[in-house]
Amino acid sequence: MTEEKKKNKKKLIITIAVIAIAAFVIHYFGLADYISRDNLNLLQDWVQGFGVMAPLIYIGLWIAACIFFLPGLPVAILGGLVFAPLPAIIYASLGSTLGATAAFLIGRYAARDLVEGWKEKNEHVKKIDDGVRKNGWRMLLLTRSVPVFPFNLQNYVYGLTDISLPLYFFVSWVTMIPGTTAYILMASALARGESPMQILMYIAIAGVLIVLVSLIPKFLDKSDVVDDVEVETNENNAK
């Protein structure tokens, strides 16, 4: 066994150990029961119970959701329930971007062989690597804007590509803000008992943000990026 393979094996063992420990902690403290759509009220009470540390706990939930393939929608809605709209958007934006970046780094360094295996078994995921080679950051922009590729999985897969960490961080941050903001505004308006007009205004803003994100592919210069994703969409719909 070569020295490089020994290092990769050691990294993989460490990563598996960390995941196993985290899974044990989540199970032991019952956190898995909190991170679900049916238990947002419990999670809300749990986060608020940390007082001034609540923002850090909330950011940590986002990071955990990205790393452990947990749904991000309940976490985004939770932000609108626990915090005022602007702080919630800031915390969610920071947490989701840090979580996506953590998964990116794990895929690139700590668990590269494992993620390579995922890629080899999934033809759809291979298109991300091919897309980055041909179109660079535009592929990241498109996959963040069009819900064709699973969000949590693509975080890891992008670690295998040639895209730089600063560029990945920046594009991910920018493209995730609109969707996160939309869900937080709607949850915040409903949770705080705003007037019907205020709620409608928040929903309208959220709708505009979502529409703007959906229009991003139309502004991309290279049509082959869009063509790749359209092929993905057609293949998924045919299944």
Domain residue spans in the chain?
Answer: 3-238
- Lowest mean pLDDT segment, chosen from 114-118, 122-126, 162-166, 175-179: 122-126
d(CA 100, CA 158) in angstroms, rounded, equals 10
User: What is the rounded CA–CA span in Å between residue 148 and residue 76?
Assistant: 20
- Category of 194 on φ-ψ map: left (φ > 0), alpha (ψ -120 to 50) or beta: beta
The band of 143, judged by pLDDT with boundaries at 50, 70 and 90, is confident
Structure-token pair, residue 141:
């922009």
Express each pLDDT in 150-181 by its tens digit.
788 889 889 888 899 999 999 999 888 888 88
- The model's pTM: 0.71
Cβ-based neighbours of 136, under 8 Å, separated by 6 or more: 163
Q: How far is CA 64 from the centre of its chain?
A: 10
Mean local confidence (pLDDT), 227-233:
49
pLDDT, tens digit, for every residue of 54-89? 999 999 999 999 999 888 888 888 898 888 889 999
Residue 54: count other Cβ atoms within 10 Å of its Cβ.
17
